[in-house]
Amino acid sequence: MSGSKLVILGRQGSGKGTQAERVAGRLGLARIATGDIFREAARTGSPYGEQVQAYMREGDLVPDDVVVDVVRQRLAEPDAGEGFILDGFPRTVGQARALDELLDPEHLDLVIELEVPTEVALERLAGRRVCLDCGRTYGPESGPRCARCGGPLATRQDDTEAAIRRRLDLYATQTEPLVEYYLAQDRLASIDGTGDPDAVTSRVLRSIEGRFSRRS
């Protein structure tokens, strides 16, 4: 399953960042998280960093052409050629169509949708903290520093109540239609994202294995 081309979908607080990182580690894939790329651009003051920061702060979506351009460049890097899992992209049907075009004549192997009820997502978001240096996400029980790189942990700038509400609304109106889009392509696996994170990882890995064994 190395060389897989995967997408993980899920509303904010579904645990998709955590699961994407684990799947990437287990299968040797590049994890490509557009939110991480944008936060890094904002932090380092890259040319488009200031522009995207305004959208992120409000919980709004960065325009499709900007996002697609970033993903096009990232997919051209050598590690992505060995397989990838996209986390946080696509988020609109326009982005999904652009991704299909970028990959043509190849295509995605599987789109994993992590399903969690709104109350669970909100509860997880309330305690969420991220490493300011590497972007790794932690729950409320974490210490003050990142276990991976030692960087300081803080609440995300866009984890305010208003921005969270805005992002959940946008997920429902802009991103949920992707479920239909990928169902029509027969590429969707909907996975229960509640409960113990290790159990969720096992379910995700099983669905990926199932996809590949179905084909061989």
Catalytic site residue from 22, 91, 124, 136: 91
Q: Which is nearer to ligand AMP, 1 or 61 (CB)?
A: 61
Active site residue 57: no
Alpha helical stretches, state H, 108-176 = 118-126, 161-170
Question: Could you give the CA distance from residue 5 to residue 132 in angstroms, rounded to a whole number?
Answer: 28
Question: Which pair of tokens denotes residue 103?
Answer: 């990959």
Q: Which is nearer to ligand AMP, 55 or 115 (CB)?
A: 55
Active site residue 91: yes
Specify the residue for token string 């294995």. 209
What is the closest distance, in whole angstroms, from the C-beta atom of residue 20 to ligand AMP in the complex? 10
Question: Which residues of this protein are in contact with ligand AMP, per CB under 6 A?
Answer: 12, 34-35, 38, 55-56, 59-62, 67, 88-89, 91, 95, 158, 167
Active site residue 11: no
Active site residue 156: yes
Active site residue 16: yes
Nearest by Cα to 206 from 196, 216, 191, 194: 191
Question: Could you give the CA distance from residue 90 to residue 98 in angstroms, rounded to a whole number?
Answer: 9
Residues 88/75/101/40 CA torsion (nearest 10 deg): 40
| Residue type at 156 in one-letter notation | R
What is the closest distance, in whole angstroms, from the C-beta atom of residue 133 to ligand AMP in the complex? 15
Closest-approach residue to ligand AMP (CB):
35
Catalytic site residue from 16, 39, 124, 136: 16
Active site positions, annotated? 16, 91, 128, 156, 167
